[in-house]
Amino acid sequence: MPRPTYPRTVPEFNRFSPDEQACLGYLAACRWPDGFRCPRCGYDEAFVLPRRRLWQCKSCAYQVSVTAGTILHRTRTSLLSWFWAA
């Protein structure tokens, strides 16, 4: 039975497992352990914009970056690279 190929470099890893959404979900769970809460109006539902790493409040359309205030803020590196390095 052949072993699955394991990626050796970070870019390879990112191609191999392009699952940033899982990372974003993890970050969101850290930020809002009890679920999303809009910092402006307190509403508890949001649209997720994974490409922009934003949560947008369904009530007032306020956009929250889940990476704001973390080392991941403004990083152009894939979130997965950070997770992989951690």
Footprint on this chain of Zn ion (rule: CB under 5 A): 38, 40-41, 43, 57, 59-60, 62
For 3, left (φ over 0), alpha (ψ -120 to 50), or beta? Answer: beta
Least Å from the CB of residue 13 to Zn ion:
36
Least Å from the CB of residue 62 to Zn ion:
4
Residue 26 CA to residue 47 CA, distance in Å, equals 16
Least Å from the CB of residue 37 to Zn ion:
9
Of 53 and 80, the one with the shorter C-beta distance to Zn ion is: 53
Q: What is the dihedral angle through the alpha carbons of 40, 47, 30, 15, rounded to the nearest 10 degrees?
A: -140
